Structure 1
Amino acid sequence: MKVKEVAALTGISVRTLHHYDAIGLLTPDDMTEAGYRLYSDDNLAILQQILFFRELGFPLKKIKELLDSPTFDRQEAFEMQHKMLLEKRQKLDEMIETIEKTIQQGRGEIIMSNEEKFKGFDFSHNPYEQEARERWGNEAVDKSNKKVAQFGPEIQEEMNQIYSKLASLRHSDSTSDEAQAAIGDWFNMLNNNFGTYSPEAFEGLGQAYVDDERFTKNIDQFGEGLAVFMRDAMAVYAQKLRGEIN
């Protein structure tokens, strides 16, 4: 198919398709003698996947990183996108319910609690992107380290103090009040300086401390076994935030 045909089929502009080609995101498999781009069925399948990622809020740069990863599996990606879209639909349903109740409250028909007023809202970093990047070539560790370096010495000192406190507790029970208070300081520090972390994202980050040797190496500089201790403490803290345990 020529570029104009693809644009008509998909509803995206010719300029957008040219841009995808220019950045190496989607390069047509063939070209006519006159220089017109020709898109194969395989190109269309890739484009479909790109548009699913776009619908889920992925920046083009991140999509390219995923597609270029040697571990990327197209069929697995479609299955994951299906799961993510179902989760997005559930979130939208919750937000629709929230706004319907807000309208009812405005009419004096019901009274909403503060919790009900904000049900469905979540402005944390893209959970879909995190899941995909962890599966197909995660560069989050490198980017996180670069982000830390951008902060002033005050933030790094705060981080070091929390690490040191946790390191002094690493041989104790991760469920203890003292350990949970210290990991709570870590949770608050992340949320105050690195965006909003949901309980799930916080627990997933703790697992990454153990799964990724670069994280483990950096954290265990404060004491061998600290990464594992933090993972366990963060999991417990997340469970408490979700109300799964007291």
Structure 2
Amino acid sequence: MTRGPEVTEEPTGDELLTVGAASSLIGVSVRTLHHWDHVGLVSPSGRTSTGYRLYSADDVARIHRVLVYRELGFSLAEVGEILDDPSVKGPTHLERQRELLAERIDHLQQMVCAVDHMMEAQAMNKKLTPQEQSEIFGQDWNPEYQREAEERWGDTDQWEQSQRRAATMSKEDWRRIKADGDRLNQELAQAARDGVEPGTDQANQLAERHRESIARFYDCTHSMHVLLAGMYTQDPRFTEYYETLEPGLADWLYRAAAENARVHGVNPDTATWE
């Protein structure tokens, strides 16, 4: 049994590459080329007299196109449909691939910038020390709160998002957040004290500001806000905190969050964590 000579350069004209040569040239395993042939994605143009696959320059060009589309996240089935679309010519494929690659590069550059910011924040150690936490949030602040929160929500996307955002905040950022929160809580307490009914414009505006204060740390939907406000009425520690501001405030805040969610198309009775 004899085989033709292995070709290690890009085939031109009628020049053909064996599967091994094509594999070495392009950087795709022989097994992958066999599979793509089996599913009809890239079938070689020829065969030797002994049945070995032979790839032409057009075959190699198709393999490169497959690799680009795969890099862009398309499935093999989707790539096959794109490449075999009779209405799409070769130059159109290249133009589309260039456009998609440019978008991918832009996205990756944005990701690099985000990672750089995270690395910078970590390098500057912007997370508050326990002493700084007590200084900003008062003597009632307990470091156990952080550990408990991590145990309860540490495996959620919201926890991960909040940790990323918190890592970029300076001490002054935390002071400002604390001051804003204190002002909002006083306004909530005053509204409950004045008999403002949940569902009114004033109550909805206050509830929305409360939701936005949470959204500083993670994307808090109106549905999530209802569940969080409900927790304030169920966890004695949260209830006690709001009760010290104004008797009945925890329940008032829950009803205000529920009515505000309703305005935004969420049924508070069936709210879910999404």
Is TM more than 0.5 here? no
Q: TM-score, normalised by structure 1?
A: 0.45
Q: TM-score, normalised by structure 2?
A: 0.40
Structure with more relative contact order (C-alpha pairs < 8 Å, separation 6 or more) = 1
